Structure 1
Amino acid sequence: MNAKLLLLTRLLVYGVLLLAALFFLAPLYVMLVTSFKDAEQIRAGNLVSLPQALNLEAWRLAWSSACTGVDCRGLQPYFLNSVTMVVPAVLISTAWGAVNGYVLSLWRFRGSEFLFGLLLFGVFMPFQVVLLPMSQVLGDLGLSSSVFGLVLVHSLAGMAGTTLFFRNYYSAIPRELVNAARLDGAGFWRIFWRIVLPMSTPILMVTLIWQFTNIWNDFLFGVAFSGADSQPITVGLNNLANTSSSVKNYNVDMAAAIIAGLPTMLVYVLAGQYFVKGLTAGAVKG
């Protein structure tokens, strides 16, 4: 009786998980099959039908020649802008958070807890409230409407979150390790590079994936602080979808949306297990 009940429970759990997976994957399926259809198949009105043939024309148009307003170069320049912005912003904000977390957990000083509390405001504060002061700062620095300006904005915006991740993770490291290293003559940076950083792989993976996803998918800062030649992929996708034409090319729009979301999907497919392991390690340590 217990074995039958256990089997039914497992079947019920698997059934619920399968339904949830189908529910969340259905939009991606519709987008994918639509992107490979031509205009005639789309006008037939069957969203879930498979394409008669793999037509890559919509992908070519979305990448290299679809119009985003008056610019008809597709998403390629926006994609390159996002890559140029995301890579340094992720590395800077992660490194900055690691050092901050190291200081606030293992090199505490008078007022460090108060400073950490102030940093937490950056985690919960809506980004809309910093648009005007940040715009003024970028103007004073001569970085308005540039990719470098976006790198600075995202580095500053992500600093609070990365500091929180690393500070909580490093708080579980025994202080005896740091004290023993200091007695052996190791200084601030030597302890960080030789002892703390080698123990940081789980939280590093979590932070890198988290920051990459947030920065790549950001639209608010991209539309507020970028110029015509520095707009990221999210702004380009919005411009493409809102560009008026005599006939709406849904296959091009779907292909463009998949191109815009492909890097984050690949990150989670290829490194998702490290993200889960890092979160689990942090939960056990904290």
Structure 2
Amino acid sequence: MEALLTMGKTLPKSASPHEIGAIICDVFNCKLDEISKVEALKKGMTNDSFIFSVGSERYVFRVPGRGTDALINRKQEHDVYAAIKELAISDEILYFNEKSGHKISRYYEDSQSLESENVLKAMSLLRKFHSKAIKVSHQFDIWERIEYYLTLCQNNSTPQFPGFEVVYQRIIKVNDFLSQSKKDYILCHVDAVIDNFLVTSGGNLKLLDWEYAGMADYRIDIAMHAIYSGYSQSGIEELASLYYGFKPTEEDMIIIYAYVALSGFLWSLWTCYKEGQGDDFGDYGSEQFEYADRYSSLVIQHVVRETNEER
């Protein structure tokens, strides 16, 4: 228990070491003194996690971060894990509380994060997942999320970025463009960044952290991966080529750029809200806003050019 109490000092105030200990004991039918080797795993952008052992096995306990209850629907996350269980591409879930967001999953010994130079493997797994066309009952509506995060930021008096209103007006137009494009909605991960791909000791590739997942246009996953990794325009084009296995059409690229713009805007708002809760993500919010600025302009220029050519 002492190890849990020590760990509790680094976790959100909502996380009680006594409550965590009780959950572990209940799940594994063990006593507190059987919980050992408690150590921090990572402090994520949305959650905090730690590793612990019961007997000879090791597990990961996820604790939602500050303000997460306003961002994540844990019932929907649970539904996603149920929908993808048979694919065996996610972490193995042993306990999930839809109310608190607490989650226990199996820890993969000697696993490694996927290196950025192996992005082809990530895109191959993503494409294979998309090909299953899995359905769930909820959507990830990026425009609804933008409006919601904007409200959260305004309610918490969190800062905005220089030129915010100009970019916001362009983002509205980009969303109008997307609403008129042809889309097939399937289950998407929405946060398929390089850090969420894990290579197990057996060489299997896993995709972790499905809390934002929902029904959406699959191209949003390509865009999300690109902006987290800081890709340039040529890098985004190369990423899309790796995903498709060939050079994508101009139509696909423009839609991907549109999602880059909206996603960058979304995560800049997300950062504003989280930093208003006391977190610090450095330049991440500004970098995401730059994507919104640059690619909203690029998409609108394309739309104007296409409109003029049709006249």
Question: Structure 1-normalised TM-score?
Answer: 0.23
Give the helix-richer structure, 1 or 2. 1
Higher RCO by CA contacts (8 Å cutoff, separation 6 or greater): 1
Give the strand-richer structure, 1 or 2. 2
